[in-house]
A and B are shown apart, each in its own frame.
Chain A
Amino acid sequence: MDERLEKALEFSNYMVTFNNKKRLLKEKFETDLLYYVRGSQFTITKELITFVGFLVDKGNTTDVVLTDDNDYPIRISDLEDFYDEIIDRYFSAANEYLNEYEALKLNRSVESIVDYE
């Protein structure tokens, strides 16, 4: 095979693996952002963080009704605790995502992208 074509195909293969890994890191990040409260599931989004932060700033901290991922209402008895928890989880997940993504960018071959013995 022509050497230039071989290199292009090798790079093509690398990019497919790279893009898939990048997508799966995002899926992992999104899964890590799921937070459960008394049977309700919340996806920790920037919108949720901003909204809850706004309510806390306005002094609405006890017995606040939020809607979960399924649009069902749930009463949150201590919104400050809820806020601290979602902030912690968000940044914990985001930092892990960043570390994994930085490591991925440094890898220049299919073998190094996937941790496989």
Chain B
Amino acid sequence: MSNKGIVVFANNNDKIDYVKQCVDLAKRAKKYLNLPVSIITDCADYVKTAYDISVFDQIISINPRLDSDVRRFKDGTLAEHRSQFKNNKRACVYNLSPYDETIVTDSDVVICNDHFKYAFDSDEDFLIYDDSTDLSIYRTQEEFEYISETSVKFYWATVFFFRKTEKNKMFFELVDHIETNFSHYCKVYQLRTNYFRNDFGFSIAIHIMNGFQEGDFAHKMPGRLFHILDTDLLQSMKNEHLVFLLEKEDYLGEYTLAETKDLNVHVMNKFSLMRELDKEPIND
């Protein structure tokens, strides 16, 4: 029988403590999915000294990247911070995951139900979301349908499932190759950015694995994924009940209240997530 688990990345920068998000995610994974969580991090010593490491199955140390990009992180519509963005080298998860069957998730996904666990029952070896539902009512989803206006279908590298197979090994090696040669792939796939995003790397790799067309390499993750943007705010988080402030259309700095229950939400505003986590003693 193969072993199963969740892997999450945490590469801290001077503004965001991803490890703290991982600790909460590990607790939620235990509660809703009953799965072990391993953390891949460039700050293993910090994990061991600052947090109760019993929430993690394994702590896997990687070397810190020195060539990370500096990016803008928004905190609602009116505030922003600049800091390093080290959310790359995700392709190494194939070799680093201690599990035969792995769910990889961003640390800012708030798990509120058990749908992810059905991925392990699937006959398919690679599952990923090709859509995510915006909690805001008015925003268009165009930027999340295709990686650019003239390019290929968009896939969310936020949450995905894979088994260790030769085909998947090839896929992750391809993602690594795309990341290494990203400026070339930006031209080929007509992207308007030079910043590597896992979503772009995965979307391009899936397109190539499918024979440069849409196809069956990637299958859909079970359940649904919801998201807020970094211009929205997570306002409260109690078990499965989350409350948000969603930016209003055309009224900068004004928000609409919204709430979810039992839905998995990708909280792109990491600062508001951090503030909510700060309200509770994380080692309890």
Contacts and interface: CB of A to CB of B under 8 A. Distances in A.
A31 interface: yes
B80 interface: no
B123 to A, nearest CB: 5
B263 A113 contact: no
A114 B259 contact: yes
B248 A16 contact: yes
B236 A34 contact: no
Contacts, number: 74
A17 B257 contact: yes
Nearest to B241: A115
B1 interface: no
A103 to B, nearest CB: 12
Nearest to A117: B236
Interface string B102-121: 00000000000101001001
Contacts of B236: 116-117
Contact of A70 (B133, B220, B248): B220
A40 B246 CA distance: 34
Contacts of A30: 224
A34 B121 contact: no
A114 B263 contact: no
A40 B127 CA distance: 12
Interface of A: 13, 16-17, 19-21, 23-24, 27-28, 30-32, 34, 36, 38-41, 69-70, 110, 113-117
